[in-house]
Homo-oligomer: A and B are copies of this chain.
Amino acid sequence: MPGISGAAGVCFRDLQPPEEQCTKEDLLLAAAYVSDAQYNRNVPFETSPQTIRLYYFYNHWTMRAATNFFIFVDLSLALFEKPALFPLPFLATSIAEVLCLTAFFGRLVHFAKVTPQMVFWKDTKNICIMVTIVLTLIDLIVYGSLEAVNIHSVRWSRVLRPVFLINFPESRQIRRAFRSIRNTLPDILYVFLLFIFNMLIFSLMALKLFGDRGLKTVEGSPYFTNILDIAFELYVLVTTANSPDVMMPAYDFNWWYSLYFITYIIINTYIFMSVFLAVVYNNYRKHLKNEIRKLAYLKRHKMIEAFNILKVNVGAEFVVMEAEWKQLVKVVAPDISSSHLELLLRISDEGQKGHVDKMNFLRLADLLNIQVITINVKRHPLEAWIPQVYKSSVSLFIQKMVQHRIFVWIYDVIILINAIFIALDEKNTFVSYAEWLFLSLYIIEILLKLYTYEPRAYFGKKQFWNWFDMLIIIAALVATVANATIKSARQYNSQQMLDIVLVLRILRLLRVIISIQRFRVIVTTLINIGPTMLTFGGLVLVVYYTFAIIGMEIFHGKVQFFDPNFTTPDALVCGNPALKDTAFARDRYCKNNFNDLASSFIVLMELTVVNQWHVIAGGFALVTHQAAKLYFIMFHIVVVILIVNIFIAFILEAFFVAYSLEKSEVETAIEKKIQELGVGVKEEEVQDGELIDIMDTKDRSFIKSDGDRKRKALKGSYFRIASKKYKTVDALLQQMFESEIAPEDEGPSLDEILNFSPSDIYPKNPNFENSA
């Protein structure tokens, strides 16, 4: 198909490499170029069939999956290398690594083939990958040859592995988060310096005030006598991890000294930490706005370009003729049904004049993005199959009962009783039989619902709660049956299986949330932001991985974990006499060590939560060197001050968008038009299985108002208006921003758009809403 191959070219000649799939506007623009013979000669990019085939192959999901697989393998190697969770010989891991590197190199070569030379070499991402591959190979060779002559060296290139995760085009979101951090750095630096300066001033004060008093800490060590120790203690106090212990000796000595600590906490913990959040949040918001503005204008720009290619002069204005328009839509969306096409045309060509004007043409990409549903015409299969039974009075009574509010309430009560039974002792046979009763009650509920509601509507693509309900029950059923089978067969409970059954049984209680509307709203918002939260997962993975590799090099083997029941002197000090009488050993933190990747990740998680991090840092500093504390401080700055704050900023922003939407209907012009035509269905209406009723009403009113012809053409097709409930924050913001651009606004030029900078996003006189 000529249009599509052109489309690849358009995505492709864009100044940025193809980070995502082509959007609808890219496809439209490409199709416009191709369909117009006049332009066909000077299409501004190469379309040799081979390049395009290569390009498609590059973007094929198998190739993407393979890349991700090799990245995963490369990162997992740390589990098998010394210090290993599952040790493998060096030869095995190094062969695996070389394999991965080859795959990465192949991917890169492939990318180079489908990208203009200049663009490829300009992109730092590609350079990064190449340099990392070379460095890793060098490291492998050096380490391997040294190992061969029994000299142990450091596999330093392992730290570089996350580079592959970040730099392949698939990880756009993670890169964006990193960009966000990088952009925040200059602003946060000054606040951080001021904070450090302030901390040093307070350290000096503490040294002078408490240093000569001869005070002792609870452990009996001298209190506040060394300026470096004081600075560390005060840094820890900012994280609140050693409050109030650090204050107690001074406070015991004199009531008034507590004022010093209270002042310090107010200034540094409360004010400075809030300022950090403010700086991070402000930057996050600024860059988010900028990216969205860029996207919105880029889209507008492409649509205008496409329009300009296809336009013909009719009367006083430029328009696109119906035939050309239809051809274009068919090229871009080959699978479109004719009724759907008819609907789109009716919306785009209001007056049925046989052509589409500019304003309506610009909306075409959005229009194509709106889902069309046809489920409405379907009746319950049982109704078609055994109508006399399904429509009998008993059956109708059951359906009415299931739809009734009281049905929900009864099951809520059942769930609560179930919760009490779960809390009761398992060994009681009565209790364990009750479990089967509850399980069957839940299954009956689901069957009743399936009987009442049309199954395909009930398990629609986005009926999250119904799916959740169903899966939890089925999983519990399977696990319980499996457990019972194992138990009766082998006469003992499998521990893992039992744990899973228990967890599933309790998760079932979450169903109560469904019946409380306010809870549902909160949870839906949380679920919506879930995918983006995964981005933070990727970000955290990269940082954790780097720190874990470094941590394993520095700390591995220094702290040993013994079985908790061992009480040998060695076990009590985690196998390291240096830890004798420390808080680390006393609190039994021996398992918090860097002896393998998994343990390291858990330690880093504990450090992220912050509490007791000074105990862990202190312990590891004792078994190595005091300078090791720097590792932990660096981790705190990177993860807690930067990443956690960005995470909070992200959640704040997501909730603000959700809140402002709750109050106001944001409808794009298209959505309004669809509603006017009476062919729109809101997501919420689909939600509760009330769809058929609505459809009936709408169908009827439609007939009345529009006559039979149109009804025929449109019957069975309804636009599902992408609900605000299931949109991402980005999509919502973009929609809001677009509703701000005037339809006749041509927007800035392409160069200007691509060079938008966040600092000029503020209008000269910012309006009230902006700042308040």
Chain A interfacial positions (CB closer than 8 Å to B): 190-191, 193-194, 197, 201, 204-205, 207-209, 212, 216, 218, 227, 240-245, 247-249, 251-253, 255, 258, 262, 265, 269-271, 274-275, 277-279, 281-282, 285, 288-289, 292, 419, 422-423, 426, 499, 502-503, 506-507, 509-510, 512-513, 518-519, 522-523, 526, 561, 564, 586-589, 591-592, 598, 602, 605-606, 609-612, 644, 647-648, 651-653, 655-657, 659-661, 663-667, 732-733, 736-737, 739-740, 759, 762-772
Contacts and interface: CB of A to CB of B under 8 A. Distances in A.
B591 A252 contact: yes
A587 B204 contact: no
Contacts of A768: 289, 733, 736-737, 739-740
Contact of A274 (B609, B648, B657): B648
B656 A503 contact: no
20 contacts: A204-B422, A205-B506, A212-B426, A218-B587, A240-B611, A248-B591, A253-B564, A269-B609, A274-B651, A277-B652, A278-B655, A289-B768, A657-B771, A664-B762, A666-B766, A733-B772, A736-B767, A737-B772, A739-B765, A769-B770
Max count, chain B CB within 10 A of own CB: residue among A255, A519, A772: A772
A512 B275 CA distance: 21
A602 B247 CA distance: 11
Contacts of A190: 518-519, 522
A281 to B, nearest CB: 6
Nearest to A651: B274
A656 B279 CA distance: 8
Cβ-closest 5 pairs across A and B: A278-B655, A769-B770, A274-B651, A663-B762, A190-B518
Nearest to A529: B271
Given A271-B651, A664-B763, A606 B772 contact: no
Contact of A191 (B522, B733, B772): B522
A513 B191 CA distance: 12
Contact of A771 (B201, B522, B564, B660): B660
A482 to B, nearest CB: 17
A656 B282 contact: yes
Contacts of A426: 208, 212
A483 to B, nearest CB: 13
A347 B764 CA distance: 24
Contacts of A241: 611
B275 A651 contact: yes
B588 A218 contact: yes
A522 B275 contact: yes
B771 A656 contact: yes
Contacts of A288: 772
Contacts of A591: 248, 251-252
A270 B529 CA distance: 14
A662 to B, nearest CB: 9
Copies of this protein in the assembly total 2
Contacts of A279: 655
Contacts of A759: 663
A297 B423 CA distance: 58
Given A208-B502, A209-B503, A519-B194, A612 B243 contact: yes
Contacts of A612: 243-245
A274 B292 CA distance: 24
B205 A656 contact: no
A299 B289 CA distance: 34
Given A245-B587, A657-B772, A736-B766, 4 more contacts: A208-B502, A242-B611, A252-B564, A270-B644
A488 to B, nearest CB: 21
Given A292-B772, A772-B288, A248 B733 contact: no
Given A204-B419, A241-B611, A736-B771, A602 B278 contact: no
A769 B766 contact: yes
Contact of A609 (B265, B422, B423, B609): B265
B242 A201 contact: no
B656 A271 contact: no
A248 B587 contact: yes
Contact of A244 (B253, B275, B606, B762): B606
Nearest to A523: B194
A476 to B, nearest CB: 13
